[in-house]
């Protein structure tokens, strides 16, 4: 039996009852984060450009765009919501692969749910399965796939979207393999595009391509028997030595969604501990930032290698600048999308404070830990140590913090919308008769 | 200056006057072949599945589908015409890379030409440039790219389509680099899908993706500075040691369209000489096929390795079966799409004649040459030798033969259409004020 057929059989046979409660709950947390980041990104310039072009070619207005009144055809809506939810890289992250698992998968399901009634648990079930295959595929081709230059969210996302859509459409195993085949014909996305708007073309394309693949399979469009593990299939072509055991071992026993992390801050995850430390320091300093003479960040050399950017010139660069992270957090408190945007990067007070930050290596410290010290002009020393950042798997955001994240992102991208009913509807999604309700609640 | 910027500058600065007459003529030959194969493939089952799904999501009916009354939005029309024109693998082939160069590029230009008036020479010019960048990119990543498993027509096709559309849209160099960036986010297509309908998803996606990329760039959607030659750009990610000199050396001096070949037969090109030989043999035998005892095909071992399939079970397999090629040609004469279709594969007379064919290696013979011998039941021997097949670069089809190919394909896929006005219009394309006329002539 081929690897692709085993995955298809598992997905087709899976029942809602098979999904354990922790996985169901984690799925809701991911969806809450999804609506938050999609609302937050709904007015971003990349989102707007994509919306302009896609709406010009859209078919029937059957599926909503989160944070907009506008409705587009399912394929275009899936594209746009995927792109918007990932545009700030503030969406959830699958720890072992750094896939953003929800962006390509969730929009496909909600587009289908607006087209015909889908029960909340049907959608949640398909979502968990889509994420499962997407992330297992990521496991199988990691770490070489990303290291070589593949934007793993976009590439593996197309397969996750195809599986999720296929499950919701009730495809039989043979059709699910075909869907994987047509997904393999579209899987794309390069690391080279990260930090530019073209990244969003890959992420949107993963959602659209996956949905298209499932619809084609439903129509009868056949593909190869082994699109994933065949000699010229996706895995071998994009990674020299894929590990197929990681795709198929323990299917239905372990759940990849449980390895999902919700980001607390809209920047590179390596900066999470830095910001945690700056939050504590800010409280200790009681707002007396003018007294600061210098700010020392001590960490494993990896932090310096990735984030030593004393003078970022754009929001994109600031998102991987430890100097900016410290300065913006001290000045503002809990940093949001604005604090990692172009305007904040150019503020005089930010620039002045950033100039006082420097990084020091300590190879003896564990990766992820940070020691932040502030020395004041009158010689006092404040020191904060963070052993493990918020948002990591062992230190996850609370449900309330994810709600808070959604509210703040909604305020940023779609201030006209009251997010409270949407938040409630996500938590009760498994009881909803019509999952499409959530899209109406995400419409201003 | 980056590689991507050099390509963009070249394309933006190029004038119609810069295109030498032989390249212009070769472009028309390619377009004639394009309309032929698209007409021939217009009713194929894969085309029909794609059409069913895409028309359900199509926006404004602004661009035609070759061989159909139906009109769809530009993106969907570009997808469908690309897929249909390549569905039989009977379209033109760029010799050094085996890219089918026209399928992803031409449909994009004709879709644009139906949307706003485009002069024939404008279209031809953009077509030559799109093919140029597409094939040079293919040269730069060959042979590793295809050997690794990338369907080079689909992957490089997206860039060619983006450049061609960008030229027609009048994009400035910076925008052309952006278009290459968004093309890089969509470039996909696997060799594993060849021989299945999922192949067409890749080829259609290349045309659609390239057009989408150019429209996004026009809208202002930015991308990386070096989507092609950057460290995580397309070339390095899909080939370990790309040769960028092959992308940029001699731009404007040599023209890749001159390395284009028009296929005489709807099967693997390695069988061209076999069919040439069988055509001659058929004439010599004067139709007395019942007398044949055995048919010996002598060639370089490469032919046997690729085409030793005594009993193919499907049209797809027959397309790479020397036994079928000999039998079908002897029985029918000049073989068309039908003779390599499922029905012919199962015919009793074909099966009987196929059983008499066997292959013999002769390592001393040049690759591409064939010696075909028929021995009759009464002991006579007929021998035909072909040194170089029709359709090769040194033995190209004549213009009249390409016209004939179009007529036969039209008869196969769209018998209600009179192809004569279309043929005339392609030959006079550089004099046409409105290139969109051709699409109306390709409509039944």
A49-59 residue pLDDT tens: 999 999 999 99
- Closest residue in chain B to residue A179, using alpha carbons only: B198
By C-alpha distance, which of A312, A322, A321 is closest to A343?
A: A312
pLDDT greater at residue A320 or residue A52 = A52
- Closest residue in chain B to residue A200, using alpha carbons only: B185
- Would you state the pLDDT for residue B269? 85
The residues, ordered by sequence, that sit 6+ positions from A229 with a Cβ below 8 Å of its Cβ are A2, A3, A4, A235, A236, A242, A244, A247
pLDDT in tens, B15-47: 999 999 999 999 999 999 999 999 999 999 999
- Would you state the pLDDT for residue A316? 82
- Closest residue in chain B to residue A45, using alpha carbons only: B221
pLDDT confidence tier of residue B220, bands split at 50, 70 and 90: very high
pLDDT confidence tier of residue A268, bands split at 50, 70 and 90: confident
Share of chain B above pLDDT 70, in %: 100
pLDDT in tens, A138-180: 999 999 999 999 999 999 999 999 999 999 999 999 999 999 9
Euclidean distance between CA atoms B57 and B76, whole angstroms: 9
pLDDT higher than 90, residue A12: yes
Query: Which residues in A lie closer than 8 A to residue B202 (C-beta atoms)?
Result: 185-186
Distance from CA of B54 to the nearest CA of A (A): 9
pLDDT higher than 90, residue B262: yes
- Would you state the pLDDT for residue A190? 97
- Would you state the pLDDT for residue B323? 98
pLDDT higher than 90, residue B195: no
The residues, ordered by sequence, that sit 6+ positions from A329 with a Cβ below 8 Å of its Cβ are A275, A278, A279, A282, A335, A339
Query: Which residues in A lie closer than 8 A to residue B52 (C-beta atoms)?
Result: 219
By C-alpha distance, which of B341, B261, B270 is closest to B306?
A: B270
Q: Is the bond preceding residue A91 a cis peptide, omega within 30 degrees?
A: no
pLDDT higher than 90, residue A306: no
Distance from CA of B20 to the nearest CA of A (A): 35
Distance from CA of A346 to the nearest CA of B (A): 21
Average pLDDT (B72-100) is 96
- Would you state the pLDDT for residue B268? 86
Cβ pair B52:A219 closer than 8 A: yes
- Would you state the pLDDT for residue B439? 98
- Closest residue in chain A to residue B76, using alpha carbons only: A57
- Would you state the pLDDT for residue A114? 96
Average pLDDT (B412-432) is 97
Query: Which residues in B lie closer than 8 A to residue A176 (C-beta atoms)?
Result: none
pLDDT greater at residue A195 or residue A382 = A382
Tokens of A76: 């275009």
Its ipTM equals: 0.95
Angle at CA of residue A341, ends A336 and A344, nearest 5°: 90
Cβ pair B233:A190 closer than 8 A: yes
pLDDT higher than 90, residue A337: yes
- Would you state the pLDDT for residue B117? 93
Helix (H) or strand (E) holding B374: strand B370-376
Half-sphere exposure (Cβ direction) of A87: Cα atoms closer than 13 Å: 30
Q: What is the pTM of this model?
A: 0.95
How far are the Cα atoms of A383, B27, B290, B361 from residue B298, in angstroms, in the given order? 83, 36, 22, 6
Choose, out of B115, B203, B230, B232, the residue to mutate when testing the contact with A (most A CBs < 10 Å): B232
pLDDT higher than 90, residue B316: no
- Would you state the pLDDT for residue B144? 95
- Would you state the pLDDT for residue A269? 85
Query: Which residues in A lie closer than 8 A to residue B53 (C-beta atoms)?
Result: 212, 215-216, 219, 221
Cβ pair B222:A198 closer than 8 A: yes
- Would you state the pLDDT for residue B223? 97
- Would you state the pLDDT for residue B274? 97
Q: Check the CA dihedral A27-A29-A35-A38 and report its sign.
A: negative
- Closest residue in chain B to residue A57, using alpha carbons only: B59
Cβ pair B57:A52 closer than 8 A: no
Euclidean distance between CA atoms B438 and B120, whole angstroms: 10
pLDDT confidence tier of residue B306, bands split at 50, 70 and 90: confident
Q: Check the CA dihedral B54-B56-B58-B64 and report its sign.
A: positive
Cβ pair A216:B231 closer than 8 A: no
By C-alpha distance, which of A391, A417, A392 is closest to A406?
A: A417
Tokens of A110: 């909600």
Query: Which residues in A lie closer than 8 A to residue B193 (C-beta atoms)?
Result: 181, 184-185, 223-224, 227
Cβ pair B221:A76 closer than 8 A: no
Tokens of A208: 């659209």
- Would you state the pLDDT for residue A22? 98
Distance from CA of A376 to the nearest CA of B (A): 41
Distance from CA of A323 to the nearest CA of B (A): 24
Select the highest-mean-pLDDT range: A313-327, B25-39, B298-312: B25-39
pLDDT higher than 90, residue A23: yes
Across chain A, mean pLDDT equals 96
Across chain B, mean pLDDT equals 96
pLDDT higher than 90, residue B135: yes
- Closest residue in chain A to residue B211, using alpha carbons only: A53
3-state secondary structure B47-67: HHHHHHHHHHHECCCCEECCC
pLDDT higher than 90, residue A282: yes
pLDDT greater at residue A35 or residue B317 = A35
Q: Check the CA dihedral A61-A64-A65-A69 and report its sign.
A: positive
- Would you state the pLDDT for residue A263? 94
By C-alpha distance, which of B143, B144, B137, B139 is closest to B161?
A: B137
Cβ pair A205:B209 closer than 8 A: yes
E-strand ranges in A12-138 read 63-64, 71-72, 93-94
CB pairs under 8 A between A and B: 190
By C-alpha distance, which of A122, A94, A124, A90 is closest to A106?
A: A124
pLDDT confidence tier of residue B83, bands split at 50, 70 and 90: very high
pLDDT higher than 90, residue A195: no
Nearest to A57 among B75, B154, B237 (CB): B75
Euclidean distance between CA atoms B67 and B414, whole angstroms: 6
Distance from CA of B374 to the nearest CA of A (A): 38
Architecture of the B3-263+395-441 domain: Orthogonal Bundle (1.10)
Query: Which residues in B lie closer than 8 A to residue A195 (C-beta atoms)?
Result: 224
Cβ pair A190:B184 closer than 8 A: yes
Domain map (residue ranges) of chain A: 3-263+395-441, 269-386
Euclidean distance between CA atoms B102 and B134, whole angstroms: 10
- Would you state the pLDDT for residue A54? 98
CATH topology of domain B269-386: 60s Ribosomal Protein L30; Chain: A; (3.30.1330)
pLDDT confidence tier of residue A6, bands split at 50, 70 and 90: very high
Cβ pair A222:B154 closer than 8 A: no
pLDDT higher than 90, residue B256: yes
- Would you state the pLDDT for residue A364? 96
- Would you state the pLDDT for residue B143? 95
pLDDT confidence tier of residue A183, bands split at 50, 70 and 90: very high
């Amino acid at each position: 039996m081929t690897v692709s057929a085993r995955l298809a059989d598992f997905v087709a046979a899976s029942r809602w009852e098979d999904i354990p409660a922790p996985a169901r709950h984690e799925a809701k947390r991911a969806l809450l984060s999804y609506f938050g980041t999609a609302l937050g990104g709904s007015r971003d310039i990349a989102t707007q450009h994509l919306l302009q072009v896609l709406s010009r070619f859209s078919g029937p207005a059957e599926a909503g765009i989160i944070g907009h009144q506008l409705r587009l055809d399912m394929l275009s809506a899936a594209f746009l919501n995927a792109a918007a939810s990932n545009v700030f890289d503030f969406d959830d992250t699958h720890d072992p692969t750094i896939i953003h698992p929800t962006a390509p998968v969730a929009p496909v399901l909600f587009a289908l749910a607006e087209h015909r009634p889908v029960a909340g648990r049907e959608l949640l079930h398909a979502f968990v399965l889509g994420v499962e295959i997407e992330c297992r595929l990521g496991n199988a081709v990691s770490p070489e796939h990303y290291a070589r230059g593949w934007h793993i969210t976009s590439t593996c996302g197309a397969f996750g979207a195809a599986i999720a859509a296929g499950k919701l459409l009730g495809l039989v195993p043979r059709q699910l393999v075909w869907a994987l085949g047509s997904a393999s014909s579209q899987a794309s996305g390069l690391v080279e595009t990260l930090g530019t708007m073209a990244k969003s073309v890959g992420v949107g394309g993963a959602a659209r391509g996956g949905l298209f693949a499932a619809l084609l399979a439903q129509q009868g469009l056949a593909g190869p028997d082994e699109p994933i593990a065949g000699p010229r299939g996706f895995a071998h072509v994009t990674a020299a030595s894929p590990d197929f055991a990681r795709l198929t071992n323990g299917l239905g026993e372990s759940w990849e969604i449980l390895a999902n992390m919700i980001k607390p801050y809209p920047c590179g995850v390596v900066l999470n501990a830095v910001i945690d430390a700056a939050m504590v320091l800010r409280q200790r300093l009681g707002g007396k930032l003018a007294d600061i003479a210098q700010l020392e960040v001590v960490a494993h050399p990896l932090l310096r290698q990735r984030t030593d950017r004393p003078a970022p010139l754009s929001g994109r660069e600031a998102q991987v600048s430890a100097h900016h992270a410290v300065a913006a957090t001290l000045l503002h408190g809990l940093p949001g999308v604005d604090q990692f945007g172009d305007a904040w990067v150019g503020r005089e007070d930010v620039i002045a404070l950033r100039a006082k930050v420097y990084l020091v290596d300590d190879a003896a410290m564990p990766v992820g830990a940070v020691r932040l010290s502030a020395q004041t002009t009158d010689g006092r020393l404040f020191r904060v140590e963070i052993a493990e950042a918020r948002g990591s798997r062992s230190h996850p955001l609370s449900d309330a913090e994810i709600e808070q994240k959604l509210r703040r992102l909604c305020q940023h991208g779609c201030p006209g919308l009251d997010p409270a009913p949407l938040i409630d509807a996500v938590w009760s999604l498994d009881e909803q008769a019509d999952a499409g309700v959530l899209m109406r609640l995400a419409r201003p």
